[in-house]
Amino acid sequence: MSIPILKHGRTLIVSLQSEPTDAEFVELQHELAQRVTTTHANGVLIDVTALEVLDSFATRTLREIGQTVTLCGARAAIVGVQPEVAFAMAQLGLSLDGMLTALDLEEGLALLHAQPGVGVVT
C-alpha cells in the first residue's frame, strides 16, 4: 500500500500527500474498510489539503469510501478541500453530498467526535 494510514485513538487518518492514481484511490477504499473493522476504528479522516484536483473519479471514490466506511459502522470526513478545488468541482457538477467535511484535521476530529456514538466510546 503506497498511501499510509495512521491511527490516532480510534480515528484512522489518511493524508494524501501527492496526487494518487486511480488505482491507488481504489486500493485506499479497500484498505480503509478492512482497517476500520480490524482496528475497531470509529472515524476516518481524509486530508486532501495537498491535492490540486479532485476530478469526477476521485470524487466518486471519496463518496464510495464514505459509504463503505459508514456501512462498516464508522464515520468518514474529508478535510482540507482547497477553495480553487471546490470551485472547480462545483463547475464540473460534483459534490461530496452526504459526506462530512471540515477545514482541517483538527476540526475534522472535533466534527467526528460530535457524531452520536463516535465521541462517547473511546
Partner 1 sequence: MSISSCIAIRADVDIITARQRGRDLGVELGFPKTDLALIATAISELARNILTYAGEGEIEIALEDVGGRRGLVIVARDQGPGIADLALALQDGYSTSRSLGIGLPGVRRLMDEFDVVSEPGSGTVVKATKWQ
Interface residues toward a second copy, by CB under 8 A: 29-30, 33-34, 36-37, 40, 42, 64, 67-74, 79-87, 89-91, 95-98, 100-104, 107-108, 110-111, 114-117, 120-121
Q: Does residue 50 bind partner 1 (CB under 8 A)?
A: no
The binder of 53, among a second copy, partner 1, none, by C-beta within 5 to 8 A per type, is partner 1
Structural contact between residues 100 and 121, judged by C-beta atoms closer than 8 angstroms: no
**Does residue 76 contact residue 99 with C-beta atoms inside 8 Å?**
yes
Angle (CA) 110 96 104, round 5°: 30
Is 71 an interacting residue with respect to partner 1 (CB under 8 A)? no
For the bound state, the minimum distance from the C-beta of residue 21 to a second copy, rounded and expressed in Å, comes to 19
Which residues have a Cβ under 8 Å from the Cβ of 12 and sit 6 or more positions away? 5, 6, 32, 35, 36, 39, 41, 43, 44, 45
> Which of 92, 103, 110, 114 lies at the binding interface for partner 1 (CB under 8 A)?
92
| Residues contacting residue 116 through CB under 8 Å, at least 6 positions apart | none
Residue 23 binds what, of a second copy, partner 1, none (CB under 5 to 8 Å, by partner type)?
partner 1
Residues 6, 57, 114, 117: which binds partner 1 (CB under 8 A)? 57
